[in-house]
Structure formats: structure tokens, C-alpha cells
Structure 1
Amino acid sequence: MTAPDINSPAEQERYERGLEVLATVDGGSAPAVMDSLADVAPALAHHIVAFGFGDIYARPGLDPKQRQLVTLGILTALGGCEPQLEVHLKTALNVGLTPTEIVESLTHAAGYCGFPRALNAVTVAKKVFAERDLLPIAT
């Protein structure tokens, strides 16, 4: 089985659609992530944009805020995804989630994935909030 040609017109169309979606929600980290893959895994970078954003994120049914809440919960539950969680925390703020909503979603996740993973997620959130001068958070 051969891998899809990421330079084919169909793949480029998916990639362009993904870039458009990504530009509307990105918290500023995506270009650096894609650039970091260019010399070692350009196909992975392509698929993150084409599949992740051009196919999945562009689907109807959930708005960007809802999609980010789902993503934050999944990354928190998985654990070990702190760099990706940081990117999506920035995106969550960018699409309009408040720090209070984000912390509440991470607190809620603790009941399903455990306190250690929720604490790790809150630590990453605190870093992102500090970078954006959003601390302290009123509850």
C-alpha cells in the first residue's frame, strides 16, 4: 500500500481548507508546530492540517468552543500530552472560552481521569494564563 501523495490536487485542497480553519481558531502555536516537522515528518504536518482541521474540525455540529472543550478533556485524560494541551489551551482562549470555563472543564475531568492528570493540565493552563496576563482567576 502506498501513502497518499500529499502534493496531489485533492490533498492540497484538504490542506488549504485545513489552513483556513486553523487560521480562525489558532492560538498562535500551530505554525511553529508545523515548521518543527518540516524537515523530519512533512507528511505528518500535512495530515495534522488536512485531516485534523480540514476534515474533522471543519465538520458541522459543534462550534469551536465546544470542540475545544472536548479536546481539552481528551488531552487531560490521556496525560503526557502537555505540549499539545498548551497549544489547545491557547486555542480555547482564542475561540472565546474563559479561564474560568477552562479550569472548570479541567476540574470536571478529574472525576473521570484522576487528580494527577487534572493537576498536570491545570499546571499547563496556569502557564498559558500567566503568559496572557489572565491570573488570578476569580471563581
Structure 2
Amino acid sequence: MTEPFEPAPSLDSPEEKARYDRGAAVLNAVDGGSAPAVMEALADIAPDLAHHIVAFGFGDIYARAGLDPKQRQLVTLGILTALGGCEPQLEVHVRTSLNVGLTPTEIVEALTHAAGYCGFPKALNAIFTAKKVFAARGLLPVGGETRTD
């Protein structure tokens, strides 16, 4: 017989709530509103993962001093491109990059730069992911269309 999921340790401590609240504020400032959908999608199977994405990813890491949001997004774009297979997350971060003030030209340049380090296939996947976001925002050059095939 398969055992049900065991409850995880509580994330309701004041410290965890503070980390989560700090992360939620940072995430809301840069994300543009798609984060709640991700958190809701995890609520039924991995609510703790949703908590950690916000508390650790944004409350601890993204909120650090030392890099501004544009610099953080350039790093994130490069890493997701190099990893490959992260196109859904890359799509979110291309949108976030635009939200924090990176231009389509800067994003394309960062993804093109990555080709020298991680290869053309991964850079191409990243460029086509960015193109999809740019098309949705009306940011493609005149005459540019996103292929759907």
C-alpha cells in the first residue's frame, strides 16, 4: 500500500513568515503579476516548494544588496540559457527582465553572448523563448512575426 504524503515541518514561524513576506514584496515589484499563478499551481502538491521559491529565491537571494534588478535578471537569463530545458522559467524571466527595465536589444544581446559559452542550440531556444514574449508584448521589429509551427 502506498503511504500518503507525510506533513512537512511548519513554515508558520515568525522568521519564515518574514522571509516569505519580504520575498513576496520583491517578487510583486519585479514580476508583473504572474507569480500568484505559479504559487497556486503548486498549492495542491508542493505548497512548501512555493513557499521556498518566494522566501528563499526572492526574500533571501533577490533582495540582497550588491546587484540591481537589471543585473540580477541578466545573470538569470544567462544561467537559464546555459542550463537549457528551462524555457518556461526563461519565459517568466524574459518578462521580468522587461519589467525591470531591460530592453529587448539587451536581452537578445545577453542570450547571443551566452552562445559562446553554452552553445548555439541552447542560445537559439532562449532566443525563440524571448521572441515569444516580445511578440506577446508587441515588441518585435516591424514585420516580425512569431512562427507557431
- Indicate yes or no: 2:21 matched with 1:21: no
Q: Which residue pairs with 2:76 in the alignment?
A: 71
Counterparts of 1:118-137 in structure 2, within 5 Å, are 118-136=123-141
Q: CA deviation at 1:4?
A: 4.7
CA drift of 1:22 comes to 0.6
Query: Would you identify which runs of 4 or more consecutive aligned residues in structure 1 move more than 2 Å?
Result: 2-5
Taking only aligned residues, the RMSD between alpha carbons, in angstroms, comes to 1.4
> How many residues end up aligned between the 2 structures?
136
Which residue, 60, 66, 82 being the options, matches 1:55? 60
Which is bigger in relative contact order (C-alpha 8 A, separation at least 6)? 1
User: Which letter does structure 2 place at the counterpart of 1:110?
Assistant: A
Is residue 32 of structure 1 aligned with residue 14 of structure 2? no
Q: Distance in 2 between matches of 1:71 and 1:17?
A: 20
- How many Å separate the matches in 2 of 1:51 and 1:89? 20
Q: Which amino acid aligns with 1:29?
A: S
Which of these two proteins has the greater Rg computed from alpha carbons? Answer: 2
* Structure 1: unaligned runs, 5 residues or longer: none
Q: TM-score, normalised by structure 1?
A: 0.94
What is the one-letter code of the residue matched to 1:93? Answer: L
Flag the structure with higher helix content.
1
Q: 1:28 touches 1:90 (CA, 8 Å); kept in 2?
A: no
Using the TM superposition, give the Cα deviation of residue 29 of structure 1 relative to its aligned residue in structure 2, in angstroms.
2.0
Amino-acid identity (%): 79
Q: CA deviation at 1:9?
A: 1.2
Q: Distance in 1 between matches of 2:108 and 2:47?
A: 34
Q: What is aligned with 1:98?
A: 103
1:86 aligns with one of 81, 87, 91: 91
Distance 2:111 2:8 in 1: 37
**Structure 1 position 3, deviation (Å):** 5.6
